Amino acid sequence: MKSVTGTTAPLLSLRGIDKYYGDIHALHDINLDIAAGEVVVLLGPSGCGKSTLLRCINGLEPTQGGRIFLDGYGALGEDIGWHAARQHIGMVFQSYELFNHLNVLDNILLGPLKAQKRQRDEVEAQADQLLQRIGLYERKTAYPRELSGGQKQRIAIVRALCLNPKLLLLDEITAALDPEMVREVLDVVLELAAEGMTMLIVTHEMGFARKVADRIIFMDAGKIIEQADPETFFTAPASQRAQAFLNLMHY
């Protein structure tokens, strides 16, 4: 969508987001714009609010202040309901969140058929294509218990992609994986980035963050402390808190 000044509106805009869990002020006045096609990586120490921010963006957690805008749809939870918003904002979790009683294909088809009311033939063709791409087409009738952690996480990514989301939120998607499976999952994400998928990613994989990000956002204690391109952030972070964080990560 072009604005009157001819500039492109951000795909996602957060304005003044505040989030409390009881007395804990988890997010303080968060303001953030993400452009279409941009890959933004959120970094920061454990407990600083990264996961909460992702969960607020697709309405899994209510906010106590501020608004979230998705280009073309207005304010989420107001102009467009959360259920509808989640059809445009895919999310992948550390713990996969696959249904164990459904096979791979049925896990993938559930959202597109039930929530998006699409035709089975069309969605299954898309699912087949995505499964072929990640090398798991042969496992389409397998159940989650028959898959490795890396395979389950690649299926969870395909499930999110099959909704044709405008934005993908990835919350520590390799944190539960054995080291030898991390690469196969991160490679899928790198491919998506190269194809122009807009993503907001939380990760502890610093090498991956540096490679995949167009922009790094560093948070601490519920606030955005600094933002920079990855080269600048990793070689010359502006704040002492970011320097301390990178030292702690041995990076």
Residues at the interface with ligand ADP (CB under 6 A): 21, 24, 26, 44, 46-52
CB nearer to ligand ADP: give 71 or 172. Answer: 172
- What token pair was written down for 48? 């600083």
Cβ-contact 59, 76 below 8 angstroms: yes
Q: How far apart are CA 53 and CA 71, in angstroms?
A: 18
CB nearer to ligand ADP: give 47 or 196. Answer: 47
End-to-end alpha-carbon separation of the chain, Å? 39
CB nearer to ligand ADP: give 52 or 126. Answer: 52
CB of residue 101 vs ligand ADP: minimum separation in angstroms? 26
CB of residue 244 vs ligand ADP: minimum separation in angstroms? 15
CB of residue 40 vs ligand ADP: minimum separation in angstroms? 15
CB of residue 145 vs ligand ADP: minimum separation in angstroms? 28
CB nearer to ligand ADP: give 50 or 166. Answer: 50
- What token pair was written down for 212? 């995949």
Strands 39-43 and 215-220: parallel
Which is nearest to 68 in space by CA: 21, 22, 115, 33? Answer: 33
CB of residue 99 vs ligand ADP: minimum separation in angstroms? 22
Q: Is 75 exposed, middle or buried (0-12, 13-18, 19+ CB in 10 A)?
A: middle
CB nearer to ligand ADP: give 48 or 147. Answer: 48
Which is nearest to 50 in space by CA: 223, 249, 230, 226? Answer: 223
Per the listing, tokens 């934005």 go with 167
